[in-house]
Amino acid sequence: MFTAENLLQTGKTFLYLFGELLLLFIGISFLVVLLQVYVSKEKIQRILTTPRKFVNSILGAALGAVTPFCSCSTIPILVGLIRSGAPFSGTMSFLLASPIMNPAIIALFLTFFGAKVTLIYAVCTFVFAVLMGIILDKLGFEKEVKRVTVRGGAPDDVVYEKLQGTFWQKNLAAWKYSLKEAVGLFRSVVVYLLLGAGIGAFIYGFVPAYFLERFAGANNLWAVPVAAIIGIPMYIRAETMIPIASVLIGKGVGYGTVIALIIGGAGASIPEVSLLSSIFKRKMVMAFVVCIFFVAVVTGYLFNILM
C-alpha cells in the first residue's frame, strides 16, 4: 500500500491542491475586501432597514453571501444590525447565509466541483437562508435576542468615503489595502489550507475507494444526517474541507454526504455558537443549530438525488 509510486502521487496531489488553493484564496480574498471598502457596514445596515420582511430576507441573504469569511467579523455586523433596528427576518437571513455561502466557499466549489454542483449548492443555501429568516420571524424568535453589545471583534475597516485624495489616489489606496488584507487573511488560514491539501492528498493516495464507498456512498441513507451531526461540533473550515471533499467524492463518497459535512462544519461551528450565546437566549441558539442541521440534511439528500 505504501509504495514509492503512491508517495509520489500523493506529493503531486498535495502540490496541485495547495497551489490551486493559494492562488484562489488570495484572489477571492482581495475581491471580497475590496467590495467591503466600497460597501461599508453602515451601508449594509441601511439597506436592511426596509420594513418589507420578504424583501428584507432576500437582501439579508444576499448581503450575507458577500461578508467576511469568519464569525469574528460577521457577529459584530450582526450586533450592529440588531441595535440599528433592522427587521429580524433579514438579520437572521444574513446570519444564516454568511458562513455557508460566502465568495470563498462559492469559488472553491466552482474550482473543485464545477458549475452544476456550485449552482445547486448556491440556490439551496440561499433559498434556505431566506425561508429560515422568515420562519424564525413568524415564530416569534425576535424576543429571544439579548440586549447586549459584543466587545472587541474586528477593527474598523477602511471605508471608501473616508479615504483622502483624488479619485485615482483613493482607488489606489483601496486596492493596496485590499491586497494587504488578502495576504493577511491568507496567512491566518494557511495552516488550514495546508491541512486540507495534506489530508486530501493522503486520502487520494492511500485510502481504498471501496472502504469509503461502502460506509459513505450515496446508497447509505444514514450517511447524510450522520455527516451533518459530525460536522457541527468539529469546526471544519471550508478552506480545509472542500479540497478534502473533492478527493472523497472521487473515492466514491456520496455528494450529499460531503455537502452535509461542509454545511454542518461551516454553518454552526463551536466558536460561532459560543459567540451567538452572548447575543441570543438558549432557545434561539438551539433554533439556529437546528436550522443549520436541517439545511445540511435536506441539501445533502437533494445532491444525492440530482447527482
Average pLDDT over residues 235-263: 75
% pLDDT > 90, the chain: 11
Residue-wise pLDDT for 291-305, tens only, equals 999 998 999 899 888
- Could you tell me the pLDDT band of residue 51, with boundaries at 50, 70 and 90? low
Closest CA to 242 of 65, 72, 63, 110: 110
Instruction: Rank 58-67, 93-102, 115-124 by mean pLDDT and report only the highest.
Output: 115-124
Distance from C-alpha of 279 to C-alpha of 275, rounded to nearest angstrom: 7
Distance from C-alpha of 224 to C-alpha of 255, rounded to nearest angstrom: 9
Look over the chain and give the mean of its residue pLDDT values, rounded to a whole number: 75
pLDDT at 189: 66
Running DSSP on this structure, what letter comes out for residue 156?
A: P
- Could you tell me the pLDDT band of residue 21, with boundaries at 50, 70 and 90? low
- Measure the CA angle with vertex 199, ends 306 and 73; round to 5°: 75
Q: What is the pTM of this model?
A: 0.69
Instruction: Using the predicted structure, report yes or no on whether residue 141 has a pLDDT greater than 80.
Output: yes
- Measure the CA angle with vertex 12, ends 231 and 111; round to 5°: 50
CB 272 within 8 A of CB 233: no
User: Higher-confidence residue: 219 or 299?
Assistant: 299
Cβ-proximal residues to 118 (8 Å cutoff; 6+ apart), any chain: 106, 109, 110
Residue-wise pLDDT for 265-291, tens only, equals 777 766 677 778 878 888 999 999 999
Looking at the 3D structure of the chain, how many domains does it have?
Answer: 1
Domain, as residue range, for 54: 4-306
- Could you tell me the pLDDT band of residue 200, with boundaries at 50, 70 and 90? low
Helical segments of 207-237, H only: 209-216, 223-234
List the beta strands (DSSP E) in 88-161: none
